[in-house]
Amino acid sequence: MSGRSTPSSGSRAKSTLTTTPRNALRTTKREAPVRPKVTHKSESAGSTESKVEITNLESSSSPTEKDSPTTLSDIDIQTTEFSTKAFERLRMGYGITVRGEPAINSAFKLNPASVPLFNGVQNRKSSDRIICQTKWTKAFVDNHMSIGAAQTCFHLVAAEAHDKSARSTVQESYESIKYQYQTKSIVKTNINFNKGNLKAENGFIYAIREALALKNVLEKQSKLDSVFEEFGYFMPCVITLGGKVVWWSEFVETTNANARSASEEVAASIKAKADLFNGVQVGVEAGVGNSKLREATSHAEHSYENVREEVIGGNTRLKASAWAKSVDDDPNCWDVIERFNVKPIWNLLDDDLRPEVEKVITASFKHNRLSIDKTYDIRNKCTKNFLSWRDVYYEQEKGAKDSQGGRIIITAPQLSAKANEEVKWKFVRSKIPDPEVDDLDKDFLRYGDVVYIQPSTESSSYLHASFSYNSPVSGREGQVSLRVITEETLLHHSDKWRIERSKPVFQDGHDSHIRNIDKQMRQNSYVQKSDEFRLCCLHNDDAYLASHDKTMANVKVVNKEKGRWRSAKPLQNIKDIGLAIKFREVILLQGKEMEKDDERADWVVVAD
């Protein structure tokens, strides 16, 4: 694959302080072609993808900037010639990699027998504010990938694989490098592609056939990964053209009390930069100097000079209403400002290739994800022990009915093969987070799934959180036990657990008006075999299953012999109980008590 040539890219004039070139293309006199990139935006009206609210920032625009009727008509752009030139000029045949970036080589060309036309001239304006917490999601914003598209398809890949090193550095330092964006867009038109409109490039077909010719599934998958890296993993089937201005800046936000002010400083600096572009007076004087821009931010820490600005589409040397007019007047200067309705790239292959690729991809999914119909050992990261139960009861359960009695829950070392099988667990989904999820999705655990956790050998026993009792060693609120519940109507929220991501790095920021891309993209991602995760009890939405280094050896328990309850005795004195000194207490940890990287509530599945 490395022998294939890479299309060259020119450079184009643009008003920007960023050092990273955009992928928008130009063939007009004022600009030379360059490779396109793509941004996160809300879905346009009528889209079937996830809708995300846009924060309207037009109040900060110049008062002279209004929606004026365009002089263009639909007939100017609804021709096969215009579609063909735009497709080539803006490199619409390039797929998107799992990193959210345009691929190296083109995967598709237009089918000359079925060239789609653009959907008519529009003149819609919108603004957005976005925050990214990883370079991976920053690539989506930099490349005009819509949020709905990302949420729909990018859970198909292991998101964490692409920013693992960055995450670990952030977690170790208790700091997070973030990127805040403000965008202003003028939507002029869009185009829809279906399978019949596109023909796979010969190089793409050859690479696919080469991968499928390998002997085993793992080799095929590895080769296909290389193919998708070169030609793209996804293909946007709706592309919006127009103009856009992007302002962004990076900043470091710690977990201390100053975190909010850091975000506010950046927001104020970005607004000052946007006001400068829009011709809005900053400060009390008409002139706009550095001191006045700093005054507008209300914070001296983060100057507008740290804000990058990029103008995309139209005459990029102009500002404010003059730039907007240039976008309105010249369709040959329109650029890609949004890509959505993204599909896995193999879905657009011909019928002789698509089923074979899907077969390999499905096998890969099954290898890396947690199947809902298998049993697992669940290991606690803090104690390094495994979630386990023993056939004895907490002392306060003496005299309770068998159907209500709670057996003890511990974390314990790995047991022999036979005994270990008795403490494996299964996840039984009680709720699917997305009612429209397809059959393949239902086969695997996803973040946001609400599940019952049951021993692999018992179909009527459930991991239960009781808030009527305290933990047996540390005396914390809440006690975790194994309850026998024979009727489904008796199952309550205290028997249900929601699977959540372990690290709070991707939680919402302080400003509710700024969309958190990382959180939105990861809401319903699949749980990978190597993932650390948390289990939140639905009865108390802030109580997490956890374990810590407190031995259970001296906890008094009761058991039955020949149908009779015996006197309470320390766990370590129970016959055949095992090495109780190594058993660790399982607790319910409140979210507000947890540190940023609290391993007590972190769990990982050990899969065969």
CA 601 – CA 589 distance, rounded (Å): 7
CA 76 – CA 79 distance, rounded (Å): 7
Q: For residue 152, which phi and psi values (nearest 5 degrees)? A: -75, -40
pLDDT band (50, 70, 90) for residue 155: low
pLDDT of residue 564: 77
CA 603 – CA 582 distance, rounded (Å): 18
**Is 90 exceeded by the pLDDT of residue 19?**
no
User: Mean pLDDT over residues 169-178, rounded?
Assistant: 51
**Is 50 exceeded by the pLDDT of residue 333?**
yes
pLDDT of residue 85: 97
CA distances from 477 to 98, 257, 390, 442, 471 (A): 44, 28, 22, 35, 6
Query: Considering Cα of 437, then 442, then 447, then 451, what sign does the dihedral take?
Result: positive
- Give the pLDDT confidence of 386-401 residue by residue, as tens digits: 999 999 999 875 454 4
User: Mean pLDDT over residues 549-553, rounded?
Assistant: 96
pTM equals: 0.68
CA 187 – CA 122 distance, rounded (Å): 6
511 DSSP β-pair partners: none
**Is 50 exceeded by the pLDDT of residue 276?**
yes
Q: Which amino acid is at 188?
A: K
The two tokens of residue 541 are 């939405």
- Selected residue with higher pLDDT from 509 and 513: 513
The two tokens of residue 445 are 């655990």
**CA count, 13 A, side-chain hemisphere, 11:** 6
For residue 544, give the nearest of 489, 487, 504, 490 by alpha carbon.
504
CA 186 – CA 117 distance, rounded (Å): 20
Query: Which residue has 């374990």 as its token pair?
Result: 547
Domains of the chain plus CATH, in order, are 58-363 (no CATH), 370-606 (2.80.10.50)
- Determine which of 169-173, 356-360, 394-398, 444-448 has the lowest per-residue pLDDT on average: 169-173
For residues 522 and 506, the answer to whether their CB atoms sit within 8 Å is yes
User: Mean pLDDT over residues 266-273, rounded?
Assistant: 90
User: Mean pLDDT over residues 580-601, rounded?
Assistant: 88
Structure-derived torsion over alpha carbons of residues 358, 364, 370, 373, reported in degrees to the nearest 10: 60
**Is 50 exceeded by the pLDDT of residue 450?**
yes
**Is 80 exceeded by the pLDDT of residue 269?**
yes
pLDDT of residue 22: 39
- Determine which of 48-57, 75-84, 334-343, 399-408 has the lowest per-residue pLDDT on average: 48-57
**Is 90 exceeded by the pLDDT of residue 435?**
no
- Determine which of 167-181, 390-404, 524-538 has the lowest per-residue pLDDT on average: 167-181
pLDDT band (50, 70, 90) for residue 488: confident
**Is 70 exceeded by the pLDDT of residue 2?**
no
User: Mean pLDDT over residues 70-94, rounded?
Assistant: 90
pLDDT of residue 305: 77
For residue 231, give the nearest of 216, 248, 214, 211 by alpha carbon.
211
For residue 525, give the nearest of 368, 357, 387 by alpha carbon.
368
User: Mean pLDDT over residues 558-564, rounded?
Assistant: 77
pLDDT of residue 419: 56
pLDDT of residue 211: 96
Residues with Cβ within 8 Å of 177's Cβ and at least 6 positions away in sequence, in order, are 133, 170, 250, 251, 252
**Pairing label, strands 532-537, 603-606:** antiparallel
The two tokens of residue 600 are 């007590």
Question: Exposed, middle or buried: residue 250 (CB in 10 Å: 0-12, 13-18, 19+)?
Answer: middle
- Selected residue with higher pLDDT from 79 and 298: 79
User: Mean pLDDT over residues 202-224, rounded?
Assistant: 95
**Is 80 exceeded by the pLDDT of residue 512?**
no
CA 242 – CA 125 distance, rounded (Å): 10
CA distances from 528 to 72, 228, 607 (A): 50, 20, 10
CA 352 – CA 225 distance, rounded (Å): 20
Share of the chain above pLDDT 90, in %: 46
pLDDT of residue 509: 47
CA 565 – CA 584 distance, rounded (Å): 25
pLDDT of residue 56: 33
Question: Exposed, middle or buried: residue 321 (CB in 10 Å: 0-12, 13-18, 19+)?
Answer: middle
User: Mean pLDDT over residues 366-392, rounded?
Assistant: 92
pLDDT of residue 98: 84
**Pairing label, strands 124-132, 515-516:** parallel
Output Rg (C-alpha) for the chain, integer angstroms.
29
**Is 90 exceeded by the pLDDT of residue 16?**
no
User: Mean pLDDT over residues 59-65, rounded?
Assistant: 31
**Is 60 exceeded by the pLDDT of residue 482?**
yes
**Is 80 exceeded by the pLDDT of residue 239?**
yes
pLDDT band (50, 70, 90) for residue 157: low
Q: For residue 18, which phi and psi values (nearest 5 degrees)? A: -80, 150
The two tokens of residue 279 are 């011709």
pLDDT band (50, 70, 90) for residue 54: very low
**Is 50 exceeded by the pLDDT of residue 31?**
no
**Pairing label, strands 335-344, 406-412:** unpaired
CA 176 – CA 180 distance, rounded (Å): 12
128 DSSP β-pair partners: 183
pLDDT band (50, 70, 90) for residue 411: very high
CA 379 – CA 602 distance, rounded (Å): 9
CA 474 – CA 516 distance, rounded (Å): 37
- Give the pLDDT confidence of 100-150 residue by residue, as tens digits: 889 999 999 999 999 999 999 999 999 999 888 888 888 888 999 887 766
Q: Which of 29-38, 45-54, 305-314 has the highest mean pLDDT?
A: 305-314
Instruction: Look at residue 541 and give its three-state secondary structure.
Output: coil
- Determine which of 11-20, 186-195, 449-458 has the lowest per-residue pLDDT on average: 11-20
pLDDT of residue 346: 94
**CA count, 13 A, side-chain hemisphere, 141:** 29
Question: Exposed, middle or buried: residue 25 (CB in 10 Å: 0-12, 13-18, 19+)?
Answer: buried
What's the 3-state SS for 507-537?
CCCCCCCCEEHHHHHHCCCECECCCEEEEEE
Residues with Cβ within 8 Å of 42's Cβ and at least 6 positions away in sequence, in order, are 51, 52, 53, 54, 126, 128, 146, 147, 148
Q: Which DSSP symbol is given to 119?
A: -
Average pLDDT across the chain, whole number: 78
Q: Which of 126-130, 164-168, 175-179 has the highest mean pLDDT?
A: 126-130
pLDDT of residue 159: 42
Across 389-415, b (16+ Cβ under 10 Å) vs e yields bbebbbebbbeeeeeebbbbbbbbeeb
User: Mean pLDDT over residues 218-237, rounded?
Assistant: 93
For residues 468 and 477, the answer to whether their CB atoms sit within 8 Å is no
Query: Considering Cα of 257, then 262, then 267, then 272, what sign does the dihedral take?
Result: positive
pLDDT of residue 349: 96
**Is 60 exceeded by the pLDDT of residue 35?**
no
User: Mean pLDDT over residues 29-49, rounded?
Assistant: 36
**Is 70 exceeded by the pLDDT of residue 167?**
no
pLDDT band (50, 70, 90) for residue 446: confident
pLDDT of residue 40: 36
